[in-house]
Chains A and B, each alone.
Chain A
Amino acid sequence: MRPRPYRTRATAADVEHGSIPAAAGIGLRFQHHGAVVETRPRVAWFEVHAENYMGGGTPLRFLDAVRRDYPISIHGVGLSLGTAEELDHGHLERLRRVVERAEPGLVSEHLSWSVVAGNYLADLLPLPLTEEALAIVCRHVDEAQSRLGRRFLVENPSTYLRYKHSVIPEWEFLAELARRTGCGVLCDVNNIFVSACNHGWDARAYLLSLPPDAIGEIHLAGHSLRRLDGGRELRIDDHGSRVIPEVWSLYREALALFGPVPTLIEWDTNIPTIDVLLDEAARAAALLARGAQETGRADAA
């Protein structure tokens, strides 16, 4: 495995060039804009949702202020890479403008779809994993990478249903997408755990099937349990709580497989004070550091 440089904090050069270090970052939401700009917390980098900065006014002032002190990653939720029709070129252009302004170290989107017949369905909807869908997602990733003039990462989704006509396992679909388009993979460890529980997959086998060299970032978040008919439970990826022990454990396995990777703590519902996110990021940072030591020993051996 290719060793990666490991740092706990962003250096001045990281900030200047915008590169995301293999360290822990947190997802920045509006509730924490003021706290971040005023207190400049010790966190290596921030990730923002592209869609929150597509207009003008105050959000852009905060984005500029945060970007002066930290590397930033841009995470899109609305491009709909899996849409059967054309990409929304207006939306892609808005994404391009946000990327141009923030000069992010990483840009990412999802393996999902949200748009059909010109309507945005406001969720990351699951794709049937077919050759047709793979060809369409590849075409859209090629188009987006070309329009943005850079490589980007595609994230594995949390899903609550599977289609009867899916024929490609999700991990193979992602690996093939990365191989054909050169895109990276954003490995959401919580999503792997959620989908594995919901569909009876082996989460460790999923991790083992991903191409290590393509992994550009890891996401961690909390999820919830929802009881449906017949007493069956679905795990719902609501980003509204702390990362659970089973997901931390899976994260350790991911680090052992992929080496130190930029790791993000996400929290989107019932958002707590920033201290809680910093505390979660510190846990990820400790595991990254331990992984780096072990990698170092392995390299020396």
Chain B
Amino acid sequence: MPTLLELQRAVHRALVSCEDGEACAQVIADGILPSNRLAVYRNTFASSLTNALRLAYPAVQRLVGAEFFDGAAAGFIEEAPPRTAWLDAYGDAFPDYLARFPPAASVPYLADVGRLELAVNKALHADDAPPLDVTALTRLPPLDRERVRFAPHPSLSLIQTEYPADTIWRSVLAEDEAALGAIDLAAGPAWLLVERSAEGVQVRRMIEAAWRFTAALCAGKALQAALDASPDIDASLLLADHLASGRFTSFALANDSLCANPPEDLP
């Protein structure tokens, strides 16, 4: 008699890898082959996760068609089943899987559109977080301001795509054939900011220098170091926009832990 853990490992292999010999040996047939009984559960496993991927990657699906998409999803699900039951967060690695999925090689921009949809999905489902208190920033002595490090809002992503993924994504979801036909795939990389605002998920195109400055701040680089690395942009205007848009939720001074509301009497 198997232990519960041994049985669950056998069922895991039966569902994820279709190796159902050990699990079948534990199942009562009662007129139906044990493998067919297990297949009911395998179907639910596969269809729930394929559906989760369809919800997260609608533009990828439209670009390649349902049959192709389901084939890619099946391979991905076997390779990377979810690690948690919160399926809104499932499929982070799907764009990377598409990038190395040989049948997708003829659609070179597919993985880029997937990476944009991953960021959109993250923006849809990320935790809520209040914006940082700007007055606490303004109370800082000037020397401390240089040492400020920001924590980005959980919904914020900065992605760089080789192809114009934002234009493709919008045209595909709008089913705008004319716009799709007008896309210049050789137009160069796109520098994108994806976030959730009060109006919903926003995908904004930035100029490269502004994107690099923002990405440096989101990665926790101190403000002065980020400014020094971006001499060619109006950083104060950009920073004001980020703060007004709630893109940062807290700040810390170099070597301090992050805090949303620092004490009144800062050193």
Contact = CB atoms under 8 A, between A and B. Distances in A.
A130 B38 CA distance: 20
Contacts of A2: none
A275 interface: no
A82 B28 CA distance: 20
A121 B40 CA distance: 13
A247 to B, nearest CB: 20
Contacts of B11: 116, 121, 125
B143 interface: no
B87 interface: yes
A294 interface: no
A88 B128 contact: no
A136 to B, nearest CB: 6
Interface in B80-119: 81-89
Interface string B48-84: 1100000000000000000000000000000001111
Which residue, B3, B8, B84, B128, has most C-beta atoms of chain A within 10 A?
Answer: B8
Given A55-B126, A116-B11, A123-B48, A84 B86 contact: no
A123 B28 contact: no
A57 B37 contact: no
A123 B41 contact: yes
Given A164-B27, A229-B33, 4 more contacts: A117-B9, A119-B81, A123-B48, A136-B4
Given A56-B126, A57-B155, A119-B81, A51 B86 contact: yes
A162 B45 CA distance: 18
Contact of B83 (A77, A119, A161, A234): A119
A164 B28 contact: yes
Interface in B1-54: 1-5, 7-9, 11-12, 15-16, 26-28, 30-34, 36-38, 40-41, 44-45, 48-49
B26 A165 contact: yes
B149 interface: no
A117 B44 contact: no
B124 A57 contact: yes
Interface string A159-193: 01111110000000000000000000000000000
Interface in A66-100: 77-80, 82-85, 88, 90-91, 94
B5 A84 contact: yes
A115 B27 CA distance: 19
Interface residues of B, number: 49
Which residue, B41, B123, B128, B200, has most C-beta atoms of chain A within 10 A?
Answer: B41
B221 interface: no
Nearest to B154: A56
A121 B126 contact: no
Contacts of B265: none
A127 B81 CA distance: 21
Interface in B201-237: none
B86 A133 contact: no
Contacts of B4: 82, 84, 127-128, 130, 132-133, 136
B125 interface: yes
Contact of A55 (B12, B45, B127): B127
B247 interface: no
Contact of A230 (B31, B34, B86, B154): B31
Nearest to A79: B85
13 contacts: A56-B125, A57-B196, A84-B8, A116-B5, A117-B9, A120-B84, A121-B11, A125-B8, A161-B34, A161-B40, A164-B28, A165-B1, A236-B40
A128 B28 CA distance: 11
A226 interface: yes
Interface in A264-283: none
Contact of B12 (A58, A121, A162): A121
Nearest to B127: A56
A74 to B, nearest CB: 14
B82 A122 contact: yes
A237 to B, nearest CB: 10
A51 B85 contact: yes
A239 B33 CA distance: 25
A235 B126 CA distance: 38
B88 to A, nearest CB: 6
B3 A132 contact: yes
B84 A160 contact: no
Given A56-B155, A84-B5, A136-B4, A230 B30 contact: no
B126 A232 contact: no
A164 B37 CA distance: 14
Contacts of A60: 128
A45 interface: no
